[in-house]
Amino acid sequence: MLETIEWTPQGVVMIDQTLLPSKTVFVTCADYLEVANAIKTMIIRGAPAIGVAAAMGVAIGVQKSPDPDADFDNICATLAATRPTAVNLFWGIERMKDLYHSLNGKTPDEKREALIAEAIRVKDEDVAICREIGRHGAGLVPDNKTVLTHCNAGALATAGYGTALGVIRAAWESGKKIDVFADETRPFLQGARLTAWELMQDGIPTTLITDNMAGHFLKSGRIGCVVVGADRIAANGDVANKIGTYSVAVLAKENNVPFYVAAPISTLDLTLTDGSQIPIEERASGEVTSVFGVPVAPDGVNVCNPAFDVTPNRYVTGIITERGVATAPYTESLKALSYSAAHPAKA
């Protein structure tokens, strides 16, 4: 598997996720503005990967700044203004802020070195977290059935291995005979372009469907469970994730299919009592009216393009984190996980 994001001497290197799978192009962001732009234009996407990119963006901003103390707030604010929904962005920035402020009195070079090390640590931890999510989730995946997933919560949405796809990978690696149905996930086609591509590379049997087919197959009985990622989870367990997740969750519940959300603890936003407070990004209409530059709708048509929706907690069977699986009532279970040991001993 190719690296989603890497710290290199030349800058922050990312695989360009807008061009996959037909073109494998790596982008080198030489300063924090280029990192901010890469997040905004979805060269890198996926909540945990955005968290890593934000941390690396802060690090490269400080690295390249002649006067970090003067520039720090602006670097952080610029990165924070890229995308509103995934809380991991703000989590990554906050983590770097906390470290930076703890370095008061150090030289600029000491600060630069510490921030770069921290950004690399954020990335390395993310891979380990995904492995733990997989370990906790694998047992929930029914054997000899199909797993349905929406969007891409895979290696490309994280620093590696994936959250939802981490659960699928761990179930597959444990020997379960599963296959995957991947919603194509219009308008950005993360399912068609990224999830199908990732899983094919791993040799996990994968079938691509359009988003509006998910209900039909959930009704058919072949889907054993749904596993998706998350961009922000409120204190009560309401889940913001890629547009269409809410529909899949309702259709899963209607057909008695378990619906799991796989996400790191950094996706929790316990400052929000429920999902209605999560800001939903509205993206450009061109994502809907054209596909790879080819128009698919009449000129001048009015478009709505909310990039996320909110799934109320009553549709969520469980939230799989690196610290264990939360179930209803979520206000209690998520709080307990949030305050539990950050790095529990492996079972």
Among the residue ranges 45-53, 97-105, 196-204, 321-329, the one whose residues contact a copy of itself (CB under 8 A):
196-204
Q: Which stretch binds a copy of itself (CB under 8 A): 91-99, 123-131, 170-178, 190-198?
A: 190-198
Three-state DSSP class for residue 110: helix
Q: Is 202 a catalytic residue?
A: no
Token pair for 321: 């984190």
Q: Establish if 207 lies at the interface with a copy of itself (CB under 8 A).
A: yes
- Residue 146 as a binder of a copy of itself (CB under 8 A): the answer is no
Question: Least Å distance between CB 133 and a copy of itself?
Answer: 24
Return the SS3 of 7.
strand
* H or E element at residue 226: strand 223-228
Give the residues across from 325 on adjacent strands. Answer: 320
3-state secondary structure of 95: helix
Residue 213 sits in the site that holds a copy of itself (CB under 8 A): yes
Residue 59 beta carbon to a copy of itself: minimum distance, rounded to whole angstroms: 33
Annotate 145-202 with DSSP letters as a single string.
SEEEE-S--SGGGSSSS-SHHHHHHHHHHTT---EEEEE--TTTTHIIIIIHHHHHHH
From 67, 109, 211, 231, active-site residue: 231
Strands 223-228 and 146-149: what pairing? parallel
Which one of 46-54, 153-161, 239-247, 322-330 is the stretch in contact with a copy of itself (CB under 8 A)?
239-247
Q: Where are the alpha helices (DSSP H) in 11-107?
A: 32-40, 47-64, 68-80, 87-102
Euclidean distance between CA atoms 223 and 294, whole angstroms: 33
Q: Please tell me whether residue 29 binds a copy of itself under the rule CB under 8 A.
A: no
Span of 86-94, 250-258, 263-271, 321-329 interacting with a copy of itself by CB under 8 A: 250-258
Residue selected from 51, 68, 166, 187 as contacting a copy of itself according to rule CB under 8 A: 187
Catalytic residues: 231
| Interaction site with a copy of itself (CB under 8 A) | 21-22, 150, 181, 183-187, 189, 192-193, 196-197, 200, 205-217, 219, 243-244, 246-247, 250-251, 254, 288-289, 291-298, 300-306, 309
